[in-house]
């Protein structure tokens, strides 16, 4: 996107901060262009809240709007629409949806994004379209439909015809239209009796008019909206998750520069780790540090900033709004808040105990709530990604988002138990400051982050053997299913490996050492012991085991003998920087000597 302010739909993240979603922007941009040749089906971008889904759609739409020749009859007409949380009038929805389509169609064809907001009055918009655009048959159908909907009762089921309008125009005029829909779960709003989900069945099937959808409630979108009924099987799926710590580090540093926070290079991947790779949490903590003029020089300061933000900052505001809106959508008997809070108090790693919640409701609210009713409410909360629910196993658990889980406890004490906000905040900060330090060698961890990103980026490739001190080039797996850090294949002191990457019958185990001295034979022998444990455990399920050591300053003579003897791959800083260049990543940063290791 150009840096001159050219946008049709405003990006929400500054360009100076925006980080690593190129894989998805390219995917949807190319899919939209492939619709010209009728090669694209409708697709859903699925992921938990605040992973950057909406921003991806906005940036793809802007690229399509400005990077194509708008005079080319084969160009893709992009349309963006965010479904509101509250829809009570079907005719009003139909008019807004159809008018939005017309605005985008005219704005793109005339290369004038101002039409998206002006003229405000619908009849003035229709006049503009008629005066300035060549009137095709499809366009005349769209204008006629909008005029008809403006007349009370003229269209029996206006919402049904409205959602099909983009497809209808594309088909009549043999044009390509791609519709980007945000908050698609709002096609069904049970509390207000509104649902247009089924009407999209025909709309999304046209190769001339694929629909790309996303939303903030992944579970209800994937399971209830797209996973059953008329839309089942009509969407391809792309899943977006948290940043790897390499890209989380990149975001931390960019955000620190943009917001004026003081963040040392070594602490950037630690920020990402503590925030679970969630881009919103990372940015929130950095902004909190900038606001309070705190240098994030250690884990204690990071913990304090995180605690403050969860209990009274950007995270508090965002998650509080999300929780309130979802509870408003599913509230029954006035007990939904209590049930959510009591579920959040469950011990980590344990299934949520419905009987405990039932007993606490009796004690706290003097309410006799049947277990079945508690179960129904928990299911609805899970649909909003506030809990985890497995229907086949019939169990509930906490969602894999420690910050959200912590927020729910704080929120419950303040909103449900009505404890003093400042006192709750003080207790949270005190508890977080006592959090055990997770990293004792920051430089070694930073190298791990880079090594892991090399593995991800090199999938399906062949890497030059010279970067591993190998006579043969290294053929990488087609896919790593997961890459863990500090993976423990066995019990006992030092029986851990820094990196464990699983690729089916092939496994990579790696160690990272950045000690300003060559690594000795103990590093090699420890990795060999872990390898032996893994071979015993996996047996015939292990075909290839790759062992890899990074030592910033090389190996001692005896360590070098051992790696040659056992065929272990190893890289010094020079070779690792070569690998990073090979897979299009930044080289390791130059770091000053520091007491943090």
Residues across the chain: 597
pLDDT band at 487 (very low <50, low <70, confident <90, very high): very low
Please, which residues bridge with residue 282 across strands? none
Q: How far is CA 166 from CA 77, 306, 476, in A?
A: 10, 45, 45
**Within this chain, do residues 178 and 87 fall inside the same structural domain, yes or no?**
yes
Same domain, 338 and 472: no
Residues 68 and 186 in one domain: yes
In the DSSP assignment, the letter for residue 426 is H
Distance separating alpha carbons of residues 338 and 361, to the nearest angstrom? 7
In this structure, are 564 and 479 located in the same domain?
yes
Most distant CA pair in the chain, distance: 88
> For all residues of the chain together, what is the average pLDDT?
91
Pairwise pLDDT comparison (246 vs 490), residue with the higher score? 246
Instruction: Give the residue with greater pLDDT, 496 vs 179.
Output: 179
- Pair (233, 142) in one structural domain: yes
Q: Which residue has the tokens 């105990």?
A: 353
DSSP symbols for 259-308: HT-B--GGGHHHHHHHTTT-HHHHHHHHHHHHHHT-B--SHHHHHHHHHH
Whether 591 is in a domain gets the answer: no
Q: Tell me, what CATH number does 346's domain have?
A: 1.10.10.10
Phi, psi of 333 (to 5 degrees): 60, 15
Q: Which of 395, 327, 335 is nearest to 369 (CA)?
A: 335
Higher pLDDT, 237 or 192: 237
Q: 545 and 486, same structural domain? A: yes
C-alpha closest to that of 270 among 15, 485, 76: 485
| β pairing state of 544-551 and 506-513 | parallel
4: number of Cβ within 10 Å: 6
Q: Based on the fold, state whether residues 493 and 559 are members of the same structural domain.
A: yes
Summarize pLDDT for 32-90 with one digit per residue, the tens: 999 999 999 999 999 988 899 999 999 999 999 999 999 999 999 999 999 998 888 89
Does 468 reside within a domain?
yes
CATH number for the domain spanning 152: value is 3.40.50.300
Domain extent for 112:
22-239
pTM score? 0.89
pLDDT the model gives residue 250: 96
Helix ranges (H only) for 88-178 are 90-109, 122-132, 137-150, 158-173
The verdict on 94 and 210 lying in the same domain is yes
**Helical residues (DSSP H) of 419-569, grouped into ranges:** 421-433, 442-457, 521-538, 557-566
Residues 421, 467: one domain?
no
pLDDT digits (tens, 9 = 90+) for 432-444: 888 777 776 789 8
Give the closest residue to 344 by CA, choosing from 313, 378, 310: 378
Reference 47, options 218, 185, 213; nearest CA is 218
Mean pLDDT computed over 577-590: 95
Instruction: Please check whether residues 331 and 186 belong to one and the same domain.
Output: no
Handedness of CA 362, 367, 371, 373 (dihedral sign): negative
Identify the domain boundary among 409, 433, 457: 433
* Per-residue pLDDT band at 597 (split at 50, 70, 90): very low
51 and 174 in a single domain? The answer is yes
- pLDDT above 90: percentage of residues in the chain: 80
> Which of 433, 453, 473 represents a domain boundary (last residue)?
433
**Mean pLDDT calculated for residue range 212-241:** 90
**Token pair recorded at residue 585:** 């990543």
Mean pLDDT along residues 235-256: 95
State the DSSP H helix or E strand holding residue 510, giving kind and residue range, or none if neither: strand 506-513
Looking at the domain assignment, is residue 597 inside a domain? no
What's the total number of domains in the chain? 4
Model pLDDT for residues 533-547, shown as the tens digit of each residue: 999 999 999 999 999
For residues 329 and 451, state if they share a domain. no
Q: Percent of the chain, pLDDT > 70? A: 95
Preceding omega of 119 cis (within 30 degrees of 0): yes
Q: What is residue 399's predicted lDDT score, i.e. its pLDDT?
A: 87
Residue 255's Cα: distance from chain center in Å? 17
Least confident of 209-213, 222-226, 403-407: 222-226
Which of 478, 458, 495 is closest to 571 using CA atoms?
458
Grouping H, G, I as helix, E, B as strand and the rest as coil, residue 1 is: coil
Q: Within a domain: residue 420? A: yes
pLDDT of residue 223: 85
Which CATH number fits the domain that encloses residue 528? 3.40.1350
User: In terms of C-beta density within 10 A (0-12 exposed, 13-18 middle, 19 or more buried), how is residue 418 classed?
Assistant: exposed
Q: Of 323 and 210, which is predicted with more confidence?
A: 210
Examine residue 17 and state whether it is found in any structural domain, yes or no: no
Instruction: Output the pLDDT for position 490.
Output: 45
Q: What span, in angstroms and rounded, lies between the C-alpha atoms of 366 and 357? A: 12
Residue 333: what pLDDT? 54
Assign 189 a pLDDT band (cuts: 50, 70, 90). Answer: confident
Domain boundary among 207, 239, 271: 239
- Residue 311 is assigned to a structural domain of this protein: no
Return d(Cα 545, Cα 529) in angstroms, integer.
13
Residue 463: DSSP 8-state: E
Query: Rounded to an integer, what is the distance from CA 19 to the centroid of its chain?
Result: 12
Task: Name the residue with tokens 């840096």.
Answer: 3
**Does residue 7 form part of some domain?**
no
**Weakest mean pLDDT among 334-343, 447-456, 461-470:** 334-343
| 191 within a domain of the structure (yes/no) | yes
Contact between 433 and 305 under an 8 Å Cβ cutoff? The reply is no
């Amino acid at each position: 996107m150009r840096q001159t302010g050219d946008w049709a739909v405003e990006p929400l993240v500054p360009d100076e901060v925006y980080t690593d979603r190129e894989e998805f922007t390219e995917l949807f941009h190319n899919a939209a262009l492939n619709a010209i040749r009728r090669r694209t089906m409708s697709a859903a971008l699925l992921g938990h809240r605040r992973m950057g889904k909406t921003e991806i759609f906005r940036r793809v739409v802007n690229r399509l709007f400005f990077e194509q020749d708008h005079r080319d009859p084969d160009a893709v007409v992009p349309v963006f629409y965010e479904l509101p949380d509250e829809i009570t009038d079907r005719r009003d929805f139909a008019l807004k949806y159809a008018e939005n389509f017309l605005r985008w169609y005219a704005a793109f064809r005339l290369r004038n994004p101002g039409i998206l907001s002006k003229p405000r009055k619908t009849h003035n918009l229709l006049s503009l379209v008629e005066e300035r655009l060549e009137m095709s048959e499809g366009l005349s159908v769209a204008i006629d439909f909008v005029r008809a909907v403006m007349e009370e009762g003229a269209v029996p089921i206006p919402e049904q015809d409205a959602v099909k309008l983009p497809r209808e125009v594309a088909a009549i005029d043999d044009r390509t239209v791609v519709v980007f829909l945000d908050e698609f779960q709002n096609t069904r709003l049970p509390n207000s009796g509104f649902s247009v989900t089924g009407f999209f069945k025909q709309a999304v099937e046209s190769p001339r008019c694929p629909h790309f959808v996303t939303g903030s409630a992944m579970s209800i979108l994937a399971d209830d909206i797209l996973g059953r009924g008329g839309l089942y099987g009509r969407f391809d799926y792309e899943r977006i998750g948290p940043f790897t710590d390499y890209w989380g580090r990149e975001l931390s540093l960019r955000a620190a520069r943009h917001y004026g926070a003081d963040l040392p290079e070594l602490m950037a991947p630690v920020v990402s780790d503590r925030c679970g790779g969630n881009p919103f949490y990372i940015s929130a903590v950095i902004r909190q540090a900038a606001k309070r003029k705190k240098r994030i020089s250690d884990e204690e300061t990071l913990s304090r900033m995180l605690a403050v933000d969860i209990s009274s900052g950007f995270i508090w505001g965002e998650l509080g709004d999300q929780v309130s809106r979802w509870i408003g959508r599913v509230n029954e008997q006035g007990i939904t808040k209590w049930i959510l809070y009591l579920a959040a108090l469950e011990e980590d790693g344990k299934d949520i105990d419905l009987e405990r919640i039932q007993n606490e409701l009796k004690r706290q609210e003097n309410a006799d709530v049947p277990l079945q009713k508690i179960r129904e409410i928990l299911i609805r909360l899970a649909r909003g990604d506030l809990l985890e629910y497995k229907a086949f196993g019939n169990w509930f658990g906490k969602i894999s988002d420690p910050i959200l889980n912590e927020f729910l406890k704080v929120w419950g004490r303040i909103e449900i138990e009505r404890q003093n906000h400042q006192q709750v905040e003080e207790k949270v900060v005190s508890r977080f400051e006592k959090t055990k330090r997770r990293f004792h060698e920051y430089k070694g961890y930073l190298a791990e982050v880079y090594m892991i990103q090399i593995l991800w980026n090199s999938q399906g490739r062949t890497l030059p053997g010279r970067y591993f001190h190998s006579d043969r080039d290294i053929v990488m797996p087609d896919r790593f299913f997961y890459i863990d850090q500090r993976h423990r294949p066995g019990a006992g002191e030092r029986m851990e490996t820094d990196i464990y990457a699983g690729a089916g019958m092939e496994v990579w185990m790696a160690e990272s050492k950045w000690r300003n001295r060559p690594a000795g034979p103990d590093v090699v022998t420890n990795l060999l012991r872990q390898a032996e444990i893994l071979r015993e455990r996996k047996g015939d399920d292990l075909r290839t085991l790759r062992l890899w050591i990074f030592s910033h300053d090389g190996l001692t003579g005896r360590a070098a003998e051992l790696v040659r003897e056992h065929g272990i791959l190893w890289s010094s800083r020079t070779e690792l920087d070569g690998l990073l260049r090979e897979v299009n990543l930044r080289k390791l940063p130059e770091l000053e000597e520091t007491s943090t290791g």
